[in-house]
Every structure is written in C-alpha cells, then in structure tokens.
Structure 1
Amino acid sequence: MSQIVLNWFQRLSPEDPRRIQKFGAKLAGLRWDQPNALNSLSTLFAAVDELAEAEVLYYYRRRGTRALISSLTRLGAWALGTAGLLLPLLAGTSAPWGQYGYALLAAAASCLAANSLFGGTEGHVRFVSTQLEIERLITASRVEWCQYLAAPHDTDDRWAEGFDIILGYANALHTATLAEVGRWGETLLTELAKFQKSIDLKDKIPGHGK
C-alpha cells in the first residue's frame, strides 16, 4: 500500500529530476568510433525522445486535472447562478428561502473566480495546446530521424548532421516547455492581480471592510 501511495505522489509531481539522471546514464557507455557511431547516435536520439514522451504524459495528466476544475466550477456557477436568479421570484411568497438569491449569485461569481484563479479552463486549453505541440515535434523529429537513417553515412558531415537533428529536437522540446511555464506564470500573476483588485473594491463599498 505504501508503494502505491508513493507512486501516486510521484505521478502528481511536476517534474522528476531523476529523468535527467537517467538520460545521462544512457549516454555514459556510448562509443563514437566508426563502427559504433550510428548506434550511439540512435541511442542518443531515443534518450531525447523519451524525455519528450515524458512531457506529453505530464501535460496529459495535468490537462485532466484542469478539465475537472473547469467543469466543477462552471457547473457550480451555473447551478448557483440559476438558483440565485430564480429565488428572488419567491420573495413575495411565503417561501423562506427567497431572500438568499443574492448570496447564491455571489457564490456563483466565486466559482467563476476560482476557475480563473486556479487555471481551470485556461489551464486546460494551455496544457492541451502544449501537449499537441510536443506531439507534433515528436512526430516531425522521428520522421526526420528515419530519413537520416535511410541515407548513407560515409562522410563526417553526415555524422554532424545527426547531431544537429538531435540537438534541434532537444532545443525545440525545451523551448516548448519553457514557453508554457512563461504563459502559466503570466496567467497566474494576472489572475492574482484581478482577485486582489476585486477585494480592494469590495472594501471601498459602504458596509464592507472598516
């Protein structure tokens, strides 16, 4: 049971540095003499490719979490907002709950704020986009690598071309992930600023704050 719990927490962790250690271990025994150079290049490409696949799995898991947050908060906003609009219609009747309409509308607005603050809908879109971008990169890189393997390797320039393909793959992978981190940071800071501004405005309304 403890191992299952440990695996669950590891699955939820954003990035595991041991993946880079594993990547380095795969390169330790590579040989670059003429008979082994092509196999070593293929091993190097496969190691970078494994890092890319790990990123795809990461964003696939994260998009599911964000989709759940988005669905729950939007459903809550719809249900509470609908109830908040309907309850005032009962205010003139003997029903005791007609006075709670405004409170339910405020709760609906809070659900929408939570969706934005915790990156529900926006985060889901970002993670899906990043996953698809990395999948496109993986597909294009694998096709390019197959094209490289199919050609003769009888000159030093051909070996250098193999390294260029792998290096370009690695750089494009990290560019895609760093761009997503940048978008996440900008979105988080923007939503925090909006939330703080809404709190400040409420403090200025008579009857709120000091």
Structure 2
Amino acid sequence: MWPLKQIPRVEDPERLQQFLSVLENVDWRSGASSALNKVFAALNDLVYREVLFYYKARKKQRAFSIVTRGLSVLLGSIGVMIPLLAAADPILFQSIAPYGYPFLVAAVALIAVNRMFGATGGHIRYVTAQLELERIMTKFRLAWVEWLSRYTLSSGAKATHEEVFKLMNDFVDEAYRVIQEETTVWGKSVSEALREYESRLPKQPGQGASH
C-alpha cells in the first residue's frame, strides 16, 4: 500500500512534504530492512504522483487539441468553400460571400491558440514524459527486487546499504531529469509561440524606430 495515498491534489507540493515526513519518521533502529522498504515505497509513490499528473494533464491537452484542431479544419473549410460557392452562383450565395475571409482568419486564430497554449505539443510532451517515468519506475522496481533476491537467496551474501542507496539516487536523478527536460521544452515552446505571435501583430506607428 502506498504510504502517500491520501495526497489531495497531484500538483500540490504537499506530496513532497509528506514524502519528507516519511523519511523523518523512518526508524532505522527497528530494522534496516523495514526502514529501506518504507523509503522505497515513499520514493515510488512520489514519482507515481508525477506519472498521474502527466496522465491527467495529457488527457486535458488531448481534448483541447482535438477541439481546436477540429474547429480550425471546420472553419477553414467553410472559409474556402464560401468564395467558391459565391463564384459558382453569385446571386444565390451573395449574402454569405463576404464571410469567407473571416472564417479563414478564425481558423488561423484557432491554430495559434492551439500552439500558444501547447494543446497538441503539450499532449505529445506529456505522453512522452509519462511513458518515460513509467519505464524508469519499472526498471527501479526490477532493480530493487533483484537486490532483495540477491541477498535473500544467496547464502553468505552480505547486503550493502551503499548499493541500495545508489539505486535510489539513480532513480531520483532519472525521474527528475525527465521532468526537468519536459519543463524546459515547455518553456521554449511557449516562448517561441509568443515571439511568433508578436511578430505577426501589426506594428504601431513609430514602433521599432531607433532613437
């Protein structure tokens, strides 16, 4: 059973505080094996919460991406069809002829919103981060089981705490590397989208003039 099961919100830093509380309350005098198991479970739960965060975030971004891309295709198609219909029958489609361009602008705006808020790109990043964290957790669990079996099944083998703490430190390093890399890519994509959006805005009179 996960020791941090009752964390109210995935993104709340309270989960880190509860992890630190688990470490503070570990009683090494009662038995090293029990203490190590508690630390192992707490570490797994801490990273599992990150997996859960990316899972929930990617579902939201996926829905946002589908809506913005779908509406963009729909509005863009309407914007293209209106001039064609007006050219085919100017009298019948005279009333809607002026609206082709606004529909195209709306379609482009939705694409910009998609990119600005990282709908499609965010979904891809979150899926990638989630799967990578799951891979790291699985490998950590296997390494832990291998370590336990080695000193349980091998007669005369002496367990070294240095080995298990190295496993834990490597696990933490790998997990936070994934999180930091995803955050870095997110920051770059937002900055690039903002610069691209600003470059397309009409310049105000006198803007950009040298002094």
Q: TM-score range by the shorter chain?
A: 0.7 to 0.9
Partner of 1:69: 64
Aligned counterpart, 1:93 = 91
Whether the 8 Å CA contact 1:89–1:98 is kept in 2: the answer is: no
Q: CA deviation at 1:186?
A: 0.6
Secondary structure of residue in 1 paired with 2:182 = helix
CA distance in 2 between partners of 1:180 and 1:17 (Å): 18
1:100-179 superposed matches below 5 A: 100-152=99-151, 155=158, 158-179=160-181
Looking at structure 2, the residues matched to 40 and 133 of structure 1 have their Cα atoms a distance apart, in angstroms, of: 28
User: Are residues 1:187 and 2:189 paired?
Assistant: yes
**Paired letter, 2:36:** L
1:191 and 1:30 map into 2 onto residues whose CA distance is 47
Give the drift of 1:28: 2.0
Q: CA deviation at 1:21?
A: 1.2
Shift of 1:76: 0.7
Matched, 1:29 2:25: yes
Shift of 1:141: 0.4
What is the rounded CA distance, in whole Å, between the counterparts of 1:164 and 1:89 in structure 2? 67
Q: Kindly, what percent of the aligned residue pairs are identical? A: 32
1:76-117 Cα deviation digits (max 9, x unpaired): 111101100111123222320122101101111111111111
Bigger shift: 98-107 or 23-32? 23-32
Q: Distance in 1 between matches of 2:44 and 2:123?
A: 24
* Counterparts of 1:155 and 1:30, CA distance in 2: 22
Secondary structure in structure 2 of the residue aligned to 1:171: helix
What is the aligned partner in structure 2 of residue 207 from structure 1?
Answer: none
TM superposition shift of 1:24? 1.4
Indicate yes or no: 2:41 matched with 1:46. Answer: yes
Q: Quick one: distance in 2 between partners of 1:185 and 1:100? A: 37
How many Å apart are 1:176 and its aligned residue? 1.0
Moved more, 107-116 or 20-29: 20-29
- Aligned residue identity for 1:94: L
TM-score, L = length of structure 1: 0.85
Counterparts of 1:51 and 1:139 in 2: how far apart (Å)? 14
Runs of 4+ in 1 over 6 A off after TM superposition: none
Distance 1:116 1:29 in 2: 46
- Structure 1 gaps of 5+ residues are 1-9, 205-210
Q: CA deviation at 1:41?
A: 1.0
Structure with bigger helix share is: 1
Deviations 1:129-188 (A, max 9, x none): 0000000001000000000111127546x2110111111111111111111111110110
SS in 2 for 1:30: coil
TM-score, length of structure 2 as denominator length: 0.84
The residue type equivalent to 1:198 in the other structure is R
Letter in 2 for 1:162: V
